[in-house]
Each structure stands twice: as C-alpha cells, then as structure tokens.
Amino acid sequence: MFRTREAGGLIRTAVLAGMLAAGWAMAANQPTETGAGVGSSTGAAQGAGPATQVGKAAPSTAEPKRLEVYSPKPSAECTDFEAWCNKLKNPTPWFTWGGDVQLREYYQNRIQTFSNETPGHEQQFQRYRGRVWGTFKLNKDLDLNARFTYQLFAVEEPDSLEGSTRDEGLFDNLNLVYRNFLTEGSKLTVGRQDIVLGDGWLVADGTPRDGSRTGFYDGVRYTFDMKDCDTTTDLIYFDNHAETDAWLHPVNMYSPEIFLAEQDEQGAIVYFTNKSFTDTEISPYFMYKNAERVLASGYSGDIYVPGLRYARKLDENWRYRAEGAYEFGSKNDPFSNDDGRQDLNAWGLNTQISYFTNDAVNTNYRVSAEYLSGDDPDTAQNEGFDILWGRWARWSDVYTDAWAMENGRPADYTNLFRVGPGFSFNPSKQVEICTDYYFMFAEDNTYRDKPQFSEGGAFRGQMLSSVLRYNINKNIKGHLVGEVMLPGNYYSSNNNDWATFVRYELVFTF
C-alpha cells in the first residue's frame, strides 16, 4: 500500500495522476496507428528479445481483429501541431534533437534482506529522469551524437533517508558514427554508446550500480555485413571505469560518489549474426573481460567466454530461443579479501519456448528456463558463472536488489536455476499485460557460513511478476509493475519474509 506522509509526496502523486488523466484524454483525440501497442515480441516482460523478428521475415498477413480504443480522425489542429513539433526538432538539415521525461513511483518492502527486522525495510520514493539528445550531421556518412541525462530522487520512506535526492547529470551518450567505413553498409561508432547484444543476457548494461539511469559503454563498435553469407559481424572494444568522472565529469556531481560498477572493466567482443536459414538466427560469439577491483565488493579477473545464441520461428505458432556460454580464465577468491586468483570453470544456459495463439488479443504462452552454475566453496576452482554485462532487471526487480545479500553486488546473477510459465496478451493495440511465475533453485550453498543463508537448503523461492504497459499515444506511455517473492529454504529462518515490489511509470517523449 502506498503511503505519502509529506505534502511534497502528495503533490507529486497528484501531479502524476493528473498527467495520466491528461494523457488519457489526449489519447482519445489521437489517431490509432496500425500496429501500435506493444507485446508482439515473446516474453517482453523478462527481456526475451525480438523473437517475432528472428531470421527472414515471413510474408505479411492480415492482422487479427482486436479490441479498439476509440480514436476519431485527427483534426487539422492536431496535424498542424505535429508538423510544428517536427519542424522544431529538425530546425536545419544538419541538426535534429529530442528528449524525454521519465516519472516513476516506487514502493518496495523487505527486498534487501527478506526480513521484517531489518531497519528501513519498507521504502517509498519517486525517481525523475530527464534526457535531451541531439545529432549533428557533419556529412552524409558522419554524425556526432550526444545525450545528456539528469536524475533525482525524492525519498518518503525510510525516515533515515527522507529528503535524499542523489541528483546528478551526465552525458551518457557522446559518440561519432561513421557509416560506410571501409565497406559499404558498415558502421563505426566511437565514444560513449549503448550496446545490447541478442536478448541482453550477457551484454546490456555497462553501468550496473546506477540502476536504470544509464547503461553506456566507453568504446568502439564496428559493424559490417558479409552479404554473400547473410551474416553481420560486430567487433567491439570498451574501457569502462567504476568512477563516474573517469572520462567525463558529471554536472552537479553527487557526494558521496555514485559508482557505476565495483571494478574497472575492459571488454572485447566478436559477435556474428547469421540469418541465412529461413526464420532462424544463429549468433556465435567470443567475449573477453578484464576486471580490476575498485570497491570492496569488486573483483579482479580475466574471463574468456565462447558462446552461441540460437533463435527460430518454428511455424506460425511456435518460437524458440536458446543461448549457452562457457567461461574459463581466473578470478580472485570471493571468500578472501586478497587478490589471489582461482581458475574459473563455469557455464550458463538461457532458454525460452513460446506458443502464439494468433487470436484477437495476440495471446502467447511461454516457458522460460535459465541455468547459471554456482561456486562450490569446497573446491580450489571458481565454478560460479559470471553474468558479465548482463546485470539488469531482465526478469525481476525484486531479486535484482536481493542479490546484493550474497556478495554486495545487485543483479550479479549466478548459482541459479530458474524455471517457470508465463503468458502475455494485448487487450487493445495500446495495452499489453505480461505475467510470469518462477521457481528458483541454487546449485551450491556458496554462502552457507553467512547468517542470512541456510547450510543445506537449495530452494531459493518462488516469484510472481506482472506488468501492464500502456501506450497512450506516440508521445506518452506508461507501465505498472508488481512482484511478490516468497523465499525458500536457501535462506535462513530469520530471512524468510515475503518481499513486494510495485512501480508505476509515465514517460513523455518529445
């Protein structure tokens, strides 16, 4: 239940509610676009990736009839306003710009320790994030891109953090894009940029400690096509630092410093995407990660990762994807404060199979499974799978924070077997509802000597997750997320209270 005890919180909540109502009213006067709405991709709630776009596209077919939100034809005033906006965002042939504002309200309880006895276990706060971006077209093949992000918090609970803002601004994109570099159709991107590969399992977020504020990489990415074999190749190198001001100094830098990661990280990736088989996508890759500890919860290591992602549309109803990777190299002992290395020997697998009914509301059912090997504390090796740059809320918000109970690192998934069903549907073109239920297990009792964990339990618990997404129009969208986690016997009896997470969001894009 939301509790807003101060006048500021009441005002903010009222403003958000008013904006939602205004957005709904605006939606009633906007044209309904064909194909609008979300959820056409499999398992959108947990980052299943673009399964509907895998491989070569099938011939288009008539879209099944869906429930419609009433939308009269656009008025002349609406058309004139859109034309004015487009002209404002494209003032010259060589410059375009835009921006968005994200408004979020959070309520979460017991997600850090699964215990009612933990001080400040109940939290409520608002997060505001604004971004402005622009592109300078230097010539027909050369662009300069920049994006500035500013974020602040307004904390209502717990009392010890009330009034905390953590406000700070920074450039989270600043890069030069050179198209047709060396070969026709290629693209070279140099500088600060966002990178997501495949379903975001291992490469999605280069700055995991600042949450969803940013996710950038400081590096170089070269993408080129080998058209004779219908294959795209990505060559990537980046050098990310734990300190926020390592390359570019933030605006109004917050104190104490908001670290972007627990260690400095360098990465090198070769990633192929082959689409030569009908409705099939095959992506072999090799990744290298070097880490140098900065914070106490960081580590030092050299990790080598060969892997393969396979996705296929089996027919008009069935779709399947699987990704597996093996890791070797060395990391420092997670149970020691020194930098002594252990040999790494770990592997992971992430899969999902989906069935689309192709009915009027685009219903799809799915079963997801993920395995990440765990470190056995009784061996001289480290068997714990390293999720690399996949530390984000891919399938859960509750467990993202709870994971820090193990090693002080949020979303550092390892020692996990997760399996469960889910379904999604679109009650209208603008609305998507996704629900998933997971059973979670641990392979090893890696932290059995810590008081929060049991000595022999293997059941991490079960979790229900649901999200409602609503595209009000092309400029306004929102979502409502709810999760409940029931811990299992992997945790001690003192850390076995169920956890809850609720978030609603509005995003205004210009």
For 228, phi then psi, to 5°, come to -65, -20
- Segment 175-197 mean pLDDT: 97
Q: How sure is the predictor about 335, in pLDDT bands with cuts at 50, 70 and 90?
A: low
Residues in the chain, overall count: 510
Six token digits for residue 249: 């100094």
Return the pLDDT at 13: 46
Task: Output the CA–CA distances (angstroms, integers) from residue 331 to 110, 236, 327, 349, 448, in the order listed.
Answer: 31, 23, 11, 21, 21
Looking at residue 64, the DSSP 8-state letter turns out to be: P
| pLDDT computed for residue 336 by the predictor | 62
Half-sphere exposure of 137 (CA within 13 A, CB side): 11
Q: How many CB atoms lie within 10 A of CB 460?
A: 23
Return the pLDDT at 88: 92
DSSP 146-175: EEEEEEEEEEEESGGGTT----EEEEEEEE
Per-residue pLDDT at 41: 36
The yes-or-no verdict on residue 414 having pLDDT over 50 is yes
Task: Please give the angle made by the CA atoms of 227, 232 and 233, to the nearest 5 degrees.
Answer: 125
* Confidence band for 51, pLDDT divided at 50, 70 and 90: very low
Q: What is the mean pLDDT of residues 238-258?
A: 91
Tell me: pLDDT of 437 over 70: yes
Q: Global pTM?
A: 0.84
Average pLDDT over residues 66-85: 56
Two tokens, residue 381:
């090796």
Centre a 10 Å sphere on the Cβ of residue 27 and count the other Cβ atoms it contains: 19
Q: What is the pLDDT of residue 338?
A: 59
Mean pLDDT of all residues belonging to the chain = 86
For the domain made up of 7-509, give the CATH fold: Porin (2.40.160)
Q: Is 210 helix (H, G, I), strand (E, B) or coil?
A: helix
**Mean pLDDT, to the nearest integer, of 187-213?**
97
- Does residue 83 surpass a pLDDT of 60? yes
Q: 3-class SS at 27? A: helix
Query: How far, in Å, CA of 316 to CA of 313, rounded?
Result: 7
* Dihedral angle sign, alpha carbons of residues 261, 262, 266, 270: negative
Residues 51-60 have a mean pLDDT of 37
Which of 51-65, 111-125, 424-438 tops mean pLDDT? Answer: 424-438
Q: How many Å apart are CA 229 and CA 284, to the nearest integer?
A: 14
Report, as an integer, the average pLDDT of 236-264.
93
DSSP 311-351: EEE-SSSEEEEEEEEEEEEEEE-TT-SS--EEEEEEEEEEE
**36 three-state secondary structure:** coil
pLDDT of residue 89: 93
Q: Which amino acid is at 78?
A: C
What Cα–Cα distance (Å) separates residue 323 from each residue in 41, 261, 284, 312, 374?
A: 17, 25, 9, 12, 18
Q: What is the pLDDT of residue 78?
A: 54
- Whole-angstrom distance, CA of residue 153 vs CA of residue 66: 39
- Residue 330 near residue 341, CB atoms below 8 Å: yes
Confidence of residue 134 (pLDDT cuts 50, 70, 90): very high
Q: Report the C-alpha gap between 147 and 327 in whole angstroms.
A: 34
Band of pLDDT at residue 180, cut at 50, 70 and 90: very high
Per-residue confidence (pLDDT) for residue 161, from 0 to 100? 79
Stretch 146-174: mean pLDDT: 90
d(CA 329, CA 341): 10
Question: What pLDDT, on the 0 to 100 scale, is given for residue 71?
Answer: 40
Q: What percent of the chain has pLDDT over 90?
A: 73
Q: Identify the pLDDT of residue 158.
A: 87
- How is the chain split into domains, by residue range? 7-509
Sequence-distant (6+) residues with CB within 8 A of 478 are 20, 23, 469, 470, 472, 504, 505, 506, 507
pLDDT above 70 (res 438): yes
- Distance between CA atoms of 452 and 471, rounded to whole angstroms? 41
Tokens of 409: 């690192």
| pLDDT at residue 14, rounded to an integer | 44
The arithmetic mean of pLDDT across residues 115-134, rounded, is: 94
Q: What is the mean pLDDT of residues 31-59?
A: 36
As a whole number, mean pLDDT of residues 52-61 equals 37
Q: What is the pLDDT, as a whole number, of residue 17? A: 46
Q: What local confidence, expressed as pLDDT, does residue 334 receive?
A: 60
Please report which confidence band the pLDDT of residue 47 belongs to, taking 50, 70 and 90 as the band edges.
Answer: very low
Place of tokens 């409940």: 484
pLDDT greater than 70 at residue 57: no
Backbone φ and ψ of 208, nearest 5°: -70, -25
* Residue at token pair 């399964």: 51
- pLDDT given at position 109: 96
Is the pLDDT reported for residue 44 higher than 80? no
Convert the pLDDT of each residue in 15-37 to its tens digit. 444 444 444 444 444 433 333 33
- Higher pLDDT pick, 51 / 498: 498
Mean pLDDT of 100-116: 95
